[in-house]
């Protein structure tokens, strides 16, 4: 399932993280790198590279996207960092780290060499498959799929039928993951429950500092939810809020950095992953949690 606009595409249903484990850390359950295969929820710049090749201009490459990131124009579909940025909290370019006294050994191995490493590491891969977000709370779908009053959840304002669809998807995904676990008992497969990690925010946005609510987009072309498919964020005749951190939704489809940070914290605390993420590598989990709390 995908939401398609005039200039770019968004697919929210499936994101995969591949966590490669080095031999000496595998026994301790600690990963050394993250390779993310995903859509606009996880894309940290591939669309930007694609634009340079195809000579196309995507709204996501224009202001105000990335306005709160270190170098702004990043290709990320948000005002700042994504969940994958928080999970891989040290995955920043050396030009950002070195002036701050952080030394980071870089590798320039060819793609062929990297694929060779991937094949060799296949049996010691930890796969992380994430469930779908509560799409019934998306500003875009609330605008496009407007319904009768009784079709909305009284506690969140979200569309019940779309969230039920997301729940159904997640149930099927977990069934498939269990099958993979049975076929590959030597592979650790983690299910990340994006749905419930995000749903608690939509139920009580004020509690988490989202004083402008969970349903109205920070950046958009107007309307009840500030989403207009004919005037998307980054296009002319759109506006952007002054305080993105008080909004859950960034552009009606994707979330703000503040929302992604909170979801990341929920995942690292362990209650929204199966098995619990912090049980696999408690030391590393604690370190990343500390970084999340100080990265405001």
pLDDT tens profile 174-229 = 898 888 888 888 777 888 899 999 999 999 999 999 999 999 999 999 999 999 99
Give the single-character DSSP code of 65: T
**Residue bearing tokens 């305080």:** 243
- Quick check: is 254 catalytic? yes
User: CA nearest 139: which of 212, 66, 242?
Assistant: 212
Q: What are phi and psi of 259, to 5 degrees?
A: -70, -45
When mean pLDDT is compared across 47-56, 65-74, 216-225, 280-289, the lowest value belongs to 280-289
Cα atoms found within 13 Å of the Cα of residue 234, Cβ hemisphere only: 24
Query: Quick check: 251 and 220 in contact, CB under 8 A?
Result: yes
Cα atoms found within 13 Å of the Cα of residue 74, Cβ hemisphere only: 23
- Quick check: is 251 catalytic? yes
Question: Which residues face 28 on adjacent strands?
Answer: none
CB atoms closer than 10 angstroms to residue 150: 7
Q: Which one of 43, 245, 251, 264 is the catalytic residue?
A: 251
Q: Which one of 40, 78, 138, 139 is the catalytic residue?
A: 40
pLDDT digit string, tens, across residues 250-286? 999 999 999 999 998 888 776 888 888 767 666 555 5
Q: Which residues are CB-neighbours of 177 under 8 A, at least 6 positions away?
A: 129, 189, 191
Distance CA(100)–CA(6), nearest Å, equals 41
For residue 114, pLDDT over 80 is answered with no
Q: pLDDT class for 10, splitting at 50, 70, 90?
A: very low
Q: Which one of 36, 138, 245, 254 is the catalytic residue?
A: 254
Predicted model pTM: 0.75
């Amino acid at each position: 399932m995908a939401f398609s606009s005039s200039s770019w595409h968004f697919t929210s249903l499936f994101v995969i993280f591949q966590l490669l484990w080095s031999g000496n850390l595998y026994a301790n359950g600690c990963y050394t790198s993250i390779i993310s295969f995903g859509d606009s929820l996880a894309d940290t710049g591939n669309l930007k590279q694609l634009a340079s090749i195809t000579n196309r201009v995507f709204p996501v490459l224009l202001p105000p996207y990335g306005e709160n990131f270190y170098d702004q124009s990043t290709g990320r579909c948000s005002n700042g960092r994504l969940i994958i940025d928080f999970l891989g909290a040290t995955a920043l370019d050396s030009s950002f780290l070195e002036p701050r006294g952080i030394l980071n050994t870089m590798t320039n191995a060819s793609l062929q060499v990297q694929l060779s490493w991937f094949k060799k590491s296949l049996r010691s891969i930890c796969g992380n498959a994430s469930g779908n977000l509560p799409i019934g709370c998306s500003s875009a779908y609330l605008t496009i799929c407007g319904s009768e009053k009784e079709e909305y959840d009284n506690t969140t304002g979200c569309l019940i039928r779309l969230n039920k669809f997301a729940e159904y998807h997640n149930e099927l995904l977990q069934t498939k993951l269990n099958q993979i676990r049975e076929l590959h008992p030597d592979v650790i497969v983690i299910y990340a429950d994006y749905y419930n990690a995000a749903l608690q925010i939509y139920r009580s946005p004020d509690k988490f500092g989202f004083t402008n609510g969970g349903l109205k987009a920070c950046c958009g072309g107007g309307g009840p939810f500030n989403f207009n498919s004919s005037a998307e964020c980054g296009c002319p005749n759109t506006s952007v809020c002054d305080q993105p951190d008080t909004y859950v939704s960034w552009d009606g489809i994707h979330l703000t950095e503040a929302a992604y940070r909170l979801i990341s914290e929920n995942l690292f605390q362990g209650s929204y992953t199966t098995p619990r993420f912090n049980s696999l590598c408690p030391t590393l989990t604690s370190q990343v949690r500390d970084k999340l709390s100080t990265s405001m």
